[in-house]
């Protein structure tokens, strides 16, 4: 006779959604965002395989919820980081450094956001979360290049550089010691400063 599924302590109907998200994050950390099924997430959470359908239509819906969560957590971290300075260049540097730390410290959320292959038009909440993240960061770039299109381009270039540096860190190119994260965050900050300086130089008529 098969024993009943044992729920984790405190894991009842009221926190089923959160329990499934946490179980999915554990599986993403172990296997990547495409390496598990909704049934496996259910078993990891200690609930029946039918339970997730109260909140998620399928695995992609669960991953989309995690991606939204990742965007919100990034927004909170980035806003807090850029708020520590009034200098637009240093605000962008702080954003880049925090981006690297997030990629290193929240590996599963980072992977879901960028490697899950989500069909974004099917999950409008993702677009909303992304727009809110962008809106929170654009003022830092706009402090250097007031033109909205140029500010967006500047922010995109800083983010792209930070993303690439974060991936190199994840792949061990900058070492695997405990100091590697902060050293790499500092590298991202320096790169952001260089990009910002170049943008200011191009926008300066006297330059």
Contacts of 26 (CB under 8 A, 6+ apart): 44, 108
127-179 per-position pLDDT tens digit: 899 999 999 999 999 999 989 999 999 999 999 999 999 999 999 998 877 78
**Cα radius of gyration rounded to whole Å, the chain:** 20
**Could you tell me the domains of the chain?**
13-54 (1.10.10), 64-203 (1.10.357.10)
116 has pLDDT over 70: yes
3-state secondary structure of 112: helix
The Cβ of residue 122 has, within 10 Å, a number of other Cβ atoms equal to: 11
Per the CB < 8 A criterion, the answer to whether 111 and 33 are in contact is: yes
User: Quick one: average pLDDT of 27-34?
Assistant: 94
Q: What percent of the chain has pLDDT over 90?
A: 71
Query: Positive or negative, the Cα torsion across 17, 55, 38, 29?
Result: negative
Task: Determine the Cα–Cα distance for residues 24 and 139; give it in Å rounded to an integer.
Answer: 34
Q: How far apart, in whole angstroms, are the C-alpha atoms of residue 165 and residue 160?
A: 9
In this prediction the pTM is 0.86
CA distance 65 to 71: 10
Q: Per-residue pLDDT tens for 166-194?
A: 999 999 998 877 789 999 999 999 999 99
Interatomic CA distance for residues 64 and 117, integer angstroms: 10
Q: Is the pLDDT of residue 92 over 70?
A: yes
SS3 of 58, please?
coil
Would the pLDDT of 32 be above 90? yes
Instruction: State the Cα–Cα distance between residues 194 and 28, nearest whole angstrom.
Output: 35
pLDDT at 14: 56
């Amino acid at each position: 006779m098969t024993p009943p599924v044992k729920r984790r302590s405190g894991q009842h109907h009221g926190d089923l959604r959160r329990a499934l998200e946490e179980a999915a994050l554990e599986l993403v950390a172990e296997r990547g965002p495409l390496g598990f099924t909704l049934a496996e997430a259910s078993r990891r959470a200690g609930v029946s395989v039918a339970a997730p359908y109260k909140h998620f239509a399928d695995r992609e819906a669960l991953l989309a919820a995690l991606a939204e969560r990742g965007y919100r957590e990034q927004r909170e971290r980035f806003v807090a980081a850029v708020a520590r300075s009034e200098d637009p260049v240093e605000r962008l540097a702080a954003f880049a450094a925090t981006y690297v730390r997030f990629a290193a410290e929240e590996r599963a959320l980072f992977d879901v956001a960028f490697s899950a292959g989500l069909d974004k038009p099917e999950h409008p909440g993702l677009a909303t979360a992304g727009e809110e993240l962008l809106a929170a960061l654009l003022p830092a770039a706009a402090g250097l290049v007031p033109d909205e299109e140029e500010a967006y381009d500047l922010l995109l270039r800083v983010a792209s550089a930070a993303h690439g540096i974060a991936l190199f860190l994840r792949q061990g190119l900058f070492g695997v010691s405990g100091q590697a994260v902060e050293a790499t965050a500092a590298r991202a900050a320096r790169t952001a400063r260089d990009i910002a300086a170049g943008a200011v130089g191009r926008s300066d008529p006297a330059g």
